[in-house]
Amino acid sequence: MTTLDPAPTAPPMHAAEDIPRWMAGCEQRPPHAKIVATIGPATSTEEALAHCIASGVSVFRLNFSHGSLDEHGERLAMIRKVAAASGRQVAVLGDLQGPKIRVGIVPDLYDGGGIMVEAGTDIIFRADATEAHLEEGLPVFPTGFDRIYHDVEPGQRVLINDGAIRTLATERIDGVSLRCRVTVGGRVTTKKGINLPDSDLKVPAITDQDWACAEWAAKHEVDYVALSFVRTADEIIALKARLDEWSTIKAEDGGSIPVVAKIEKPQALTNLASIVRATDAVMVARGDLGVEMDTAQVPAAQKVIIETCQSHGKPVIVATQMLESMIEAHAPTRAEASDVANAVFDGADAVMLSGETACGKHPALVVETMRRIIRTAEAWYDTQPHEPNPPSDLPELPHRSAALAHGCWHIAKEAKARLVVVWSQRGGMAGYLSQNDFRVPILACTTSERSARRMTLFGGVTPWRLDPPGEGTLADWTDEVEAYVQAQGLAEEGDAVLLVAGKPLGQVDAQDTVAILRVGDPNSGFRPR
């Protein structure tokens, strides 16, 4: 049986009399925003995964850009095993690489590794190179991305290592080579990414490797698939169609795998509304987004993306460099802490760790640090006057539950509900409740393990996998909810708990109804009077 997150063990930063009222008890509250953590060498043991889950991870990310499918299979099995032992629902997100351009093999020709390139000098990319080398004093780099030798025009930017190294194309021989002049130098090492922000690349968003990884994800029942470098809604629709073909999951057990659209290209911002409508969730992938467009524009773009997701009722993840200094350090910078908190203030459902947990020195500590920042930010936010921002771009059909969820917010507010408990078989109603910014915990019941795992991405939602109690009546369910919330310390006698369910329990698309359970009152909730 699932439980809400326990309080972290980190000590308070100040004496009780010195802290503001809004900070008091903030470490005892379950966080609304969730934590996504990338699994890698630093988190590829059962012990490391267990520590991360205990520290607050709700979703683990498998990065298909690195490692083989066999390695990802071993990690997936390990996550499932450790999550089951922890008693928590934990989702797994498979992140497709997309048409990522990378430098090939670069031997260590200079002290410190790789090859140093200096501003004012030339470098060459060549199709037939098997590894980087010096030729007549010029560095020659391999890349298997064929379109770089066809689509990059002289004068266009060619950026390496997330834009840390900057060059301008000067000469192209179609299908053979591309010569560039370095404007900002640095060290080039194996597999560093290449960005071409000015070039019109004639490549599909989904490569052959991506299709193979997506099929593997469907057959191994990964909980979410993320599509990189999305440009149009058609790319999302194409991926969802193939996932539908490969899926063996029945509708009542969650259906085919949901898709997360990664917004990291300027074209995606142009087509943002249609992309958000087509997808199931969104990731603000600030790494490549900050290379493909002016870095100064990224904070505003983040807000626009989050607001668009909120208006369409879609969960949104903010990612990249959130606590990056903790790859090495034991504490984040003040700017990083503010970055995480501002993502929370903007309304992100989840914040993501990349290298911090994949290859960092302190993966569990960085997760706990992120959770403490989330809780403290939310404790302040909840003292500020604000109304919910319900999805505004949902038609009545097939979204009647969205209107009911908005009504539930008003009922919960008037009743001063301690929490909301909803029966949400496939997660739809739980998602709508989440998007209404309840600011009280939402406990979401389902018979489906897969649906329970997927709901871990929803802000404020804790999934509870259980079978319909007794004869499956709403009165039986009311009894079980009352016993559970008291046993877990989520509510006490006299507290109001909002119940949202349908008849019969466990059926997909059952019409939802609402009742107020007053803990300790045998005539409240869905019990007959």
From 317, 350, 381, give the residue that closes a domain: 381
pLDDT at 16: 47
| Region of poorest pLDDT, from 164-173, 383-392, 412-421 | 383-392
Above 50 in pLDDT, residue 5?
no
Alpha carbon 74 to chain centroid distance? Answer: 21
Structural domain contains residue 394: no
pLDDT at 72: 97
From 352, 381, 410, give the residue that closes a domain: 381
What is the rounded distance in angstroms from the CA atom of residue 99 to the CA atom of residue 239?
15
From 177, 195, 213, give the residue that closes a domain: 195
334: helix, strand or coil: helix
Structural domain contains residue 79: yes
What is the rounded distance in angstroms from the CA atom of residue 56 to the CA atom of residue 59?
9
Tell me, yes or no, whether 179 and 232 share the same domain: no
Tell me, yes or no, whether 349 and 454 share the same domain: no
pLDDT at 252: 59
Tell me, yes or no, whether 81 and 188 share the same domain: no
Higher local confidence (pLDDT), 391 or 322: 322
Neighbouring-strand partners of residue 126? 142, 177
- Read off the pLDDT of each residue in 126-140 and give the average, rounded to a whole number: 94
Share of the chain above pLDDT 90, in %: 69
pLDDT at 247: 84
pLDDT at 9: 47
Above 90 in pLDDT, residue 254?
no
Tell me, yes or no, whether 146 and 75 share the same domain: no
- Read off the pLDDT of each residue in 244-259 and give the average, rounded to a whole number: 79
pLDDT at 328: 95
What contacts 200, CB < 8 A, 6 or more positions away? 151
- Please tell me the total count of domains within the chain: 3
Tell me, yes or no, whether 49 and 83 share the same domain: yes
Structural domain contains residue 393: no
Structural domain contains residue 1: no
Structural domain contains residue 386: no
- Read off the pLDDT of each residue in 134-153 and give the average, rounded to a whole number: 93
Tell me, yes or no, whether 112 and 83 share the same domain: no
Provide the mean pLDDT of the chain: 89
Tell me, yes or no, whether 478 and 505 share the same domain: yes
Domain CATH code at residue 482 = 3.40.1380.20
Tell me, yes or no, whether 149 and 290 share the same domain: no
Tell me, yes or no, whether 211 and 92 share the same domain: yes
Tokens of 318: 């903010």
Q: What type of residue sits at position 230?
A: V
**Structural domain of 34:** 16-98+204-381
What is the rounded distance in angstroms from the CA atom of residue 332 to the CA atom of residue 259?
31
**Structure confidence at residue 226 as a pLDDT band (50, 70, 90):** very high
Tell me, yes or no, whether 244 and 344 share the same domain: yes
**Structure confidence at residue 129 as a pLDDT band (50, 70, 90):** very high
- Read off the pLDDT of each residue in 477-490 and give the average, rounded to a whole number: 93
pLDDT at 1: 40
Tell me, yes or no, whether 148 and 60 share the same domain: no
Domain CATH code at residue 162 = 2.40.33.10
Tell me, yes or no, whether 228 and 314 share the same domain: yes
What is the rounded distance in angstroms from the CA atom of residue 401 to the CA atom of residue 429?
6
- Read off the pLDDT of each residue in 344-366 and give the average, rounded to a whole number: 96
Structural domain contains residue 264: yes
pLDDT at 249: 72
DSSP state of 228: S
What is the rounded distance in angstroms from the CA atom of residue 423 to the CA atom of residue 477?
9
Domain CATH code at residue 77 = 3.20.20.60
> Which sign does the torsion angle of CA 241, 242, 243, 246 carry?
positive
CB 94 within 8 A of CB 225: yes
Structural domain contains residue 3: no
pLDDT at 2: 45
| Region of poorest pLDDT, from 3-7, 232-236, 248-252, 381-385 | 3-7
**Structure confidence at residue 112 as a pLDDT band (50, 70, 90):** confident
pLDDT at 4: 47
